[in-house]
Structure 1
Amino acid sequence: MRYINFPVSDNGGATKISELGFGCAPLMGRVGRGDSLKALHSAEQAGVNFFDTARSYGYGESEGLLGDFLRGRRASMVVCTKFGILPPKGGWKQKVKPLAQAAIRVFPGMRQFARRQASGESTGNQFSVAVLRESFETSLRELKTDYVDMLIFHAAPVSVLDQDDLLDALGRLVESGKVRMAGISGDHPVIRETFRRQPKAITLAQFALNRACFDFVAATQTPEAQRLLLIANHPYGGPAGAATWADTLASLRNAPGVTVQLRDKFDINDPQLMPELLLNAILRGTGISVVLPSMMRSASLSGNVRALDHCRFTDEELDLIRVELTRRRSAA
């Protein structure tokens, strides 16, 4: 496992972050408690020490389960949580959830419907000082800790950059030591504007980066972006994106400028080809420090770890692949 230095270490917490992070969105949502804990332990054993959660994940229960897992190991872990999307209110959702999970096991096609329903019960765009304070205190209780390493705006609109009172409140949490780094997650236009404005309180940014938006890599390499810790999520583009990667890989193999040596590395039948190409194209030679792929299955976890530890592509080859993916995005 590769690590980077944590930019701050003023409260005795972890001093390094694994380049491979664990996204906690499925915990206590589409994945139950037992399998969730199993996945967390597997990630730790593989060397992952960065765990990304949010107040809204798992119908509001993801943080609590992660807090249980963190007992006895908190000081060595890097924990990111988010505010701005509130979980569903009321206990009825939790009573129905086991039935929904059982139904999905029998009828897998219901999964997308269930996700849309769960999303509809959450309340987004909740960005005020009052929500920040209440959400953050709840996060601390659920995570069973007195600080978080990262606290970020969750799917924020660009208007939060104009909320000086909210940015000041976030900055005060950092000054108090309850938050080590503050940041923002959102669509690319929001992140670009964050790069441009450089709000004092914000020192990290999280955003999606996959085949459908690889042109954003260039924005991460600017001097403005390099002042921030950058975290990429959804690298495979979800189930739909991953399902179409075989065609992309086959066409990349025959792209202009691809050498014979590089073409020979495109073994379409090798399951490691996609994670090696994609994860390293995101991390190596860009401004991005951490990537958050889905890793609930042990095969996904081990494949992602191997992809970073043993990559068949050189830096020059990865650069050529990035250029081609960007060109295709621009031409689409």
Structure 2
Amino acid sequence: MRTVVCPGLGRDVSVLGFGCASLGSRVSEAQSRRVLDYAFERGVNWFDVAPPHGDGEAETILGHFLSGRRDRAVVSTRIGVARPSLSPVMHFIGAIKRSALNAFPGISALAFGRMKLIRQREPLRAESIEPSVVESLRRLQTDYIDVLALQDPTPEDCGNPAILAALQHVVDKGYVRCLSIIGDPDAIEAARAHPIFAIVQFRSNPFHRTVERVRSTPPSAAEAFFVLQSAFGGGAYERLSHLLVGDGGRLASLASQLAYGPPFMASEILIDYAFGNNPKGVVVVAMSQPAHIELNCARASRAPRTDVVEFVNKTVLASPAAKMPPHF
């Protein structure tokens, strides 16, 4: 596994991060522990979680996994999003959903794509920051969080003196080692005016071009550590797959010249694109199956491919089909 130095933490981290969104919802706790172990054994040491992940269970599951290996893992969690409170009926529905997805993985997008819980952004208040951190520490069964990220703050939140003071307070108490932001370019630009935020996280893939705008805003990219989210999200996988098989397979034929082929062509291109777009940072990917982990770890062990970034930007996205609205 390739590693990079995270300046805000002063340590090496894996370029592939494990996204914990499925732990406890799409996959059971027993399955979650197996895939966490599988990824960790292959060199993944960055784990991205949030209070609402896994229907509110992911932080607890990750905490169990961390026992005996806490000093070898980097934990990034979030504030600003509410942890759901599920009724017994919703837990029962979740168990049925897991069973169906395990038995028939191909139905996931069609049958359950609209059954996700709506995640409510909490109004960010200075007085709620420390209690939220303490609750995450309790669920994670640890006495510190490596990276605490503000989830989708407003630009005003990022410059609010009371909020900044509350964030500095949890750092000073040793609860948090490094502060980050996950948000849109306007919030990121506002946050980067304050040196308290050492890490910048955002959603980016060929069809969600946040990275270009973030890099164009001061301070320079050399002064920020980037964590990319949603390499496959927002329909990116489906849209790229559609483009590759369209136009008589012309794009797929061109991709084959870069050593891509079925059955994982779209997946390999998207993960290589993410690593190539963020060669000195981390790419977080949700992984719930050993096959996903194997593929992503293999790509994370290679040198970043800037040729793939160029191919996608100048060839795939320039094709007539890419300029048409997606069919899903």
Q: Aligning the two structures, in what range does the TM-score lie when normalised by the shorter sequence?
A: 0.7 to 0.9
CA deviation after TM superposition for structure 1 residue 3, in Å: 0.6
Q: Does 1:307 align with 2:303?
A: no
Tell me the TM-score normalized by structure 1.
Answer: 0.82
Alignment match of 2:55 (pick from 28, 53, 59): 59
* Residues 133 and 175, structure 2, Cα contact 8 Å, conserved in 1: no
Tell me the TM-score normalized by structure 2.
Answer: 0.83
Check 1:267–1:9 CA distance in 2 against 1; reply closer, same or farther (3 A cut).
Answer: closer
Matched residue, 1:44: 40
CA deviation after TM superposition for structure 1 residue 176, in Å: 3.0
CA deviation after TM superposition for structure 1 residue 285, in Å: 5.5
Matched residue, 1:203: 198
Between the aligned partners of 2:266 and 2:160, the Cα distance in structure 1 is 41
Matched residue, 1:123: 120
* Residues 285 and 319, structure 1, Cα contact 8 Å, conserved in 2: no
Between the aligned partners of 1:147 and 1:193, the Cα distance in structure 2 is 26
Check 1:229–1:261 CA distance in 2 against 1; reply closer, same or farther (3 A cut).
Answer: same
CA deviation after TM superposition for structure 1 residue 85, in Å: 1.1
Check 1:237–1:288 CA distance in 2 against 1; reply closer, same or farther (3 A cut).
Answer: farther
Q: Which amino acid aligns with 2:219?
A: E
* Residues 272 and 305, structure 2, Cα contact 8 Å, conserved in 1: no
Matched residue, 1:319: 310
Matched residue, 2:285: 293
Q: Which amino acid aligns with 1:172?
A: H
Q: Does 1:71 align with 2:67?
A: yes
Alignment match of 2:131 (pick from 125, 131, 134): 134
Alignment match of 1:171 (pick from 137, 151, 168): 168
CA deviation after TM superposition for structure 1 residue 139, in Å: 0.4
Check 1:263–1:144 CA distance in 2 against 1; reply closer, same or farther (3 A cut).
Answer: closer
Between the aligned partners of 1:327 and 1:189, the Cα distance in structure 2 is 27
- Unaligned ranges ≥5, structure 2: none
Check 1:219–1:245 CA distance in 2 against 1; reply closer, same or farther (3 A cut).
Answer: same
CA deviation after TM superposition for structure 1 residue 194, in Å: 3.3
CA deviation after TM superposition for structure 1 residue 327, in Å: 5.4
Q: Which amino acid aligns with 2:122?
A: N
CA deviation after TM superposition for structure 1 residue 98, in Å: 2.4
Matched residue, 1:16: 12
Check 1:280–1:245 CA distance in 2 against 1; reply closer, same or farther (3 A cut).
Answer: same
1:78-125 deviation digits (Å, cap 9, x = unpaired): 00000111122365344553245446667754412321xx22xx4323
Check 1:277–1:114 CA distance in 2 against 1; reply closer, same or farther (3 A cut).
Answer: closer
Give the aligned length: 316
Check 1:254–1:77 CA distance in 2 against 1; reply closer, same or farther (3 A cut).
Answer: same
Q: Which amino acid aligns with 2:262?
A: N
Check 1:159–1:331 CA distance in 2 against 1; reply closer, same or farther (3 A cut).
Answer: farther
CA deviation after TM superposition for structure 1 residue 136, in Å: 0.6
Q: Which amino acid aligns with 1:318?
A: V
Alignment match of 2:275 (pick from 280, 283, 303): 283
Higher RCO by CA contacts (8 Å cutoff, separation 6 or greater): 2
Measured on the aligned residues, the alpha-carbon RMSD in Å equals: 3.2
Check 1:326–1:199 CA distance in 2 against 1; reply closer, same or farther (3 A cut).
Answer: farther
1:67-87 deviation digits (Å, cap 9, x = unpaired): 000000000100000011112
Alignment match of 2:207 (pick from 206, 209, 212): 212
CA deviation after TM superposition for structure 1 residue 284, in Å: 2.8
